[in-house]
Amino acid sequence: MGAVSSHLLGMSFDAAASPSIHLRRSDDDREAAGWGFAWYPMDDAAATVLKDPKGTHETPLARVLRDWDRFRSCVFVCHTHGAAKRITQQDTPPFQRSHAGRDFVFAHSGDLGRDLGETLPLTNPSIEPVGRTDSEHAFCWLLGRMVEVGARSLADVGWAKLHGWLGELNERGTGSFLLSDGHDVVAYCDRAGAHPLWRVRRTPPHRRMVLKSEKIVLDLDNPHDVNREMAIVSGTRLSEVESWKRMAPGAMVAMRRGVFIWSSVEDEDVRPAPEAAAEAAPALGMLWTETSVGSVPAPTAEGARGEARQATEAKREQSRFRAAPTPRARSTRDEAAEVRREGRVLTVDHETIYRYEEPVELSAHLYRLHPVHDLRQDVLDYQLEISPPGAARRAEDVFGNEVLSFKIERPYSELWVRARSRVRVRPPDPLAPLKRATIPLVWMPWQRQMMTPYLLPPELPETQLHALSEYAMGFVERNDFDLIETLKDLNLSIYRDYQYRPGSTLLETSPFTVFVRREGVCQDFANLFICLCRLLGVPARYRVGYIFTGADYDNQIQSEASHAWAEVYLPRIGWRGFDPTNGVMANLDHVRVAAGRNYRDATPTSGTLFRGGKGETLEAKVKVEVEEEAPKDGRVR
């Protein structure tokens, strides 16, 4: 744009938004300022560009930017410039060109020199400037390079290569650039520092909805947009209370659907992790005990079960139930040499204590504490102790969980439950067989019927489900409808954008409330992930278990209680776990216990007090450790 001072503003939202923009004029602005504004209505491939080369701050077009709430888009590119002797419509950015079935827009702040036509000649006669500016010439040169390499979008070029092209332009003079194809927004910062750029990513709940600088006011207070995520690049900081980062000279970032998806400069943000503390167990009294030993599933010998139930009924004061199936022969192979395939052994100690001011006279309980035994997880040892003793019955529920029904018919003021297990966790198979599966998934009729419980979202008002669907589709479109990339992005985004805050939610807290508040605990993040998957037609279920945090996780508190994550059913692969609390896929740190449609189907401990039990208090402790060397006798220490 020659020597004319200008301001760049690029915005990327996770879903269609309608910001209001007001141009400010200070007492020093004697001349009128011009502006240009581009967006893609309803995310169409065609861009709409409004320009006012010499507009005052209250022209009809300027009032459109301020008051018109009907232009909704995920991408906005804005350029304002100061006074100039000769500014025409054709020379006012953003510039617009069509290529490969979509519109591209471009804006530039700086001066690339008058000899750009000689240093960077245009070889494609179908892509030539309409005006006389160096900015439009640079834009046409970029599109010409895209045609040469056969790229149909900015992403097709490759971010590193595009960064090199913009750097080549910057060698001809000064310049910061904004470039968009309606899907991505690219921002490049002048290497000389003459035209700095600032960037920020904003996530709900927003502390302020009106951002302003000396030249521009950005009003985001549209009631439809309060839950929008956004990535913004601006020539000036628009707020003093948010963590705006100044882009490094010569740096480039790419934005898509409200996030920065690429940067030429690494982000140095690091989250420290506190250390976890171990807890000691209280002394044992009269109790009911179940033990299973060996690298096998839960007890299957009906005779042993029957004898145990009889013994339980006969000895109410001190009962003991033991199931001892024939264990498989243990391998003599060196496990250390095959740790990649064999996984690792985790020990879990889960203790729950209920105390009552008024004694309980009659109660019934359900316990889902036995870890899963399948191809990816071996239960090497398991022991369950309950005090006071009672009558027990073990069964399998409709979700495949092992459930212990437990009835206590004697008065008690304290109920103590302790589950100790030793589990070998194996790494899941890679997702390679699922090459380029896309959303929406196609199911056979019988598959959909079997998956129906995991495809129905929670019963919420339709308006809330619509808002969540729009949020979910933002991830789909950001990842070009790729199933695995969408799930990974969703998993990581919840971890990154939502605060882990114990006590901030209740068991009944809905996914929409978590979406609005952007805070919760593991069960809330799992519920939100599950809800979004189901709205996308991806079967998802709730998983309860344990996690070993070690020193590799930001939040050590989560290892001191039962942990929750989500599992999705992937075609030709099966159920795979996604842990949005930690932004990872379920791995060798996760011990699976129970699963279901929601928390109630998989809750570790539940029950009903039929008489007494006022003044209840609950204490729960979980300790998960990695076993460095497996005990030779295979028993829990």
Assigned token pair, 309 = 């139930």
Q: What are phi and psi of 114, to 5 degrees?
A: -85, -15
Burial track 287-306 (b if 16+ CB lie within 10 A, e otherwise): bbbbbbbbbbebbeeeebbe
Contact 603, 636 (CB under 8 A): no
Q: Are residues 410 and 476 in the same domain?
A: no
Residue 298 lies in a domain: yes
Boundaries of domain holding 343: 288-427+603-626
Please give the tally of structural domains in the chain: 3
Q: Are residues 220 and 325 in the same domain?
A: no
How many CB atoms are closer than 10 A to CB 461? 10
pLDDT at residue 111 in the model: 92
Q: Are residues 306 and 179 in the same domain?
A: no
Q: Are residues 403 and 487 in the same domain?
A: no
Residues β-bridged to residue 172:
none
Residue 572 lies in a domain: yes
Contact 192, 111 (CB under 8 A): no
Which residue, 263, 298, 321, sits at the end of a domain? 263
Assigned token pair, 313 = 């009924």
Cα–Cα distance for residue pair 423/86, rounded to 1 Å: 76
Residue 156 lies in a domain: yes
Residue 632 lies in a domain: no
What is the DSSP code string of 159-178?
HHHHHHHHHHHHTTSEEEEE
pLDDT at residue 470 in the model: 95
Ramachandran class of 280: left when φ > 0, alpha when ψ lies in -120 to 50, beta otherwise:
beta
Residues sharing a CB contact under 8 Å with residue 296, sequence separation 6 or more, in sequence order: 325, 326, 327, 328, 373, 379
Residues of the chain scoring pLDDT < 70: 1-5, 25-33, 55-70, 82-87, 267-287, 290, 292-341, 431-435, 551-560, 628-637
Q: Are residues 231 and 121 in the same domain?
A: yes
Residue 114's domain is classified under what CATH number?
3.60.20.10
The H-assigned helical ranges of 344-461 are 445-451
Residue 434 lies in a domain: no
Cα–Cα distance for residue pair 608/80, rounded to 1 Å: 67
Q: What are phi and psi of 122, to 5 degrees?
A: -95, 130
Residue 594 lies in a domain: no
Q: Are residues 452 and 368 in the same domain?
A: no
Closest by CA to 132, choosing from 116, 147, 152, is 116
Residue 635 lies in a domain: no
Residues sharing a CB contact under 8 Å with residue 91, sequence separation 6 or more, in sequence order: 53, 131, 132, 133, 136
Residue 354's domain is classified under what CATH number?
2.60.40.2250
pLDDT at residue 278 in the model: 35
Q: Are residues 583 and 607 in the same domain?
A: no
Element (H or E) spanning 313, and its range?
helix 302-314
Q: Long-range contacts: 503-510, Cβ < 8 Å, 24+?
A: 507/599, 510/458, 510/460, 510/464
Residue 312 lies in a domain: yes
Cα–Cα distance for residue pair 448/446, rounded to 1 Å: 5
Q: Are residues 475 and 396 in the same domain?
A: no
Q: Are residues 16 and 81 in the same domain?
A: yes
How many CB atoms are closer than 10 A to CB 503? 6
pLDDT at residue 634 in the model: 45
Q: Are residues 296 and 148 in the same domain?
A: no
What Cα–Cα distance (Å) separates residue 338 from each residue in 49, 205, 296, 473?
61, 47, 20, 42
Residues in the chain: 637
Residue 453's domain is classified under what CATH number?
3.10.620.30
The H-assigned helical ranges of 343-431 are none
- pTM given for the model: 0.79
Cα–Cα distance for residue pair 568/575, rounded to 1 Å: 5
What Cα–Cα distance (Å) separates residue 21 from each residue in 104, 473, 620?
22, 26, 52
Q: Are residues 56 and 111 in the same domain?
A: yes
Strand arrangement, sheet containing 584-585: 584-585, 574-579, 563-570, 540-547, 590-596
**3-state class of 472 per DSSP?**
helix
Q: Are residues 147 and 118 in the same domain?
A: yes
